[in-house]
Structure 1
Amino acid sequence: MDPLIIEPGKGIGTIELGMSRQEVEACIQEYTAKYRKPSYSKNYFEHVFMVKYDEDERVHFIEIPSSLKDFFTCSFRGMDVFNTKAEELVAKVDEISPYDRDDWEVGYMYMFPALGLSFWRPNIFKEEFLQEEWFLEMHPDIQEDEKKHLYFESVSIRK
């Protein structure tokens, strides 16, 4: 599986902060040509790379979802951000630069302001929940869905 490197202050993969719309479109066309699967929409990569532009029409925000792990190993400083448990990933990145402990979304979102890096998941789920009665009483399919929340669903960088 090819790497997709997350570099705060620079970019994610070939899409970089400061790029124009045309440059981003060219990157997305390259991803589509190389990685698109027949069962995916032809616009798949246009929708999975969430890119926001500033008033000068230059990239100032890039976000990717965990679904890209079907194509890439998405990594930050050698850590696979979508296959490393959220609590472990936060602890490791926190050693590099502290996350904003005052953010009201802590648990769901971890923002590392000095890096311009954020991780997000829709629900908080912890390893110890796996042994709790309320979890064990769930249908196995629902348990599997809940376990997904041990991991982050998106990562973003910003200027």
Structure 2
Amino acid sequence: MAAIVHVKPGKSIGEIHIGMSKNDAEKLLSNSQLSFQIEYEGDIVSFVEINAGAEIEFSCYYNNIDLFKTKASKLVDILDAISPYDREDSDGFTYRFPKLGLVLWRNLDFSEEDMEQPWFKEMPIENQEDTMRSLYFETVGVFIPE
């Protein structure tokens, strides 16, 4: 059975919480098979990000939505209805939800419509498969809401 990681925007991803001490966070990280990026202000966690690529299979949930298995276009619409994303600070790769304290990232602004384009169809199958991963977000981050 795959692990389940719960995201609480503005607060935590799994057991890693904003406001946690660096020492406590690093203890948790040392025992984790998941891929985290953490930023600190002094010795206090100020930002937590999780990467979809990990040593183990897992699901990443917020409000019963799997953030890594819901297509980016649909996920942005769902979250935008909860709390608008920052149109100035979002570019198709990154979507920042400042009032929620949530940020989503993928390495390519790619949509299902792009799959019909000649440039996509001319790619080798392996490249198409890699590119299609960008239909989904690759990282989820939480920060103190604005």
Greater strand share, structure number = 2
Q: What is the CA-CA distance between 1:9 and the residue it aligns to?
A: 2.2
Say if 1:69 and 1:78 are closer, same or farther in 2 by CA, change over 3 A.
Answer: farther
Q: Distance in 2 between matches of 1:130 and 1:9?
A: 34
- The match for 1:121 among 106, 123, 126 is 106
Query: Does the 8 Å CA contact 1:52/1:60 hold for their aligned counterparts?
Result: yes
Deviations, residues 42-86 of structure 1 (Å, cap 9, x unaligned): xxx5xx21111113x110100111113843211111111111110
Q: Which has the larger radius of gyration?
A: 1
> Alpha carbons of 1:101 and 1:80: their partners in 2 closer, same or farther (altered >3 Å)?
same
Written as runs of structure 1 = structure 2, the 5 A alignment for 1:40-59 is: 45=34, 48-55=35-42, 57-59=43-45
Equivalent in the alignment of 2:135 = 150
Residue identity (%): 40
Q: Within 1, Cα distance between the matches of 2:12 and 2:51?
A: 15
Name the amino acid aligned to 1:76: Y
Gaps in structure 1 of 5+ consecutive residues: 37-44
**Aligned equivalent of 1:40:** none
CA distance, structure 2, for counterparts of residue 17 and residue 85 of structure 1:
27
Q: Which residue of 2 aligns with 1:22?
A: 23
Detail structure 1 runs of 4+ shifted over 3 Å in the superposition.
none
CA drift of 1:93 comes to 0.5
**Matching residue's letter, 1:109:** T
Offset at residue 26 of structure 1 (A): 2.3
* Matched positions, count: 143
Do the aligned partners of 1:9 and 1:116 also contact (CA within 8 Å) in 2? Answer: yes
* CA shift in 2, pair 1:18/1:74, >3 Å: same
Q: Counterparts of 2:101 and 2:62 in 1: how far apart (Å)?
A: 13
Report the 3-state secondary structure (helix = DSSP H, G, I; strand = E; otherwise coil) of the residue aligned with 1:92. Answer: helix
- Normalising by structure 2, we get a TM-score of 0.91
Q: Residue 139 of structure 1 aligns to which amino acid in structure 2? A: P
Alignment partners' CA distance in 2, 1:62 and 1:87: 23
Aligned partner of 2:69: which letter?
N
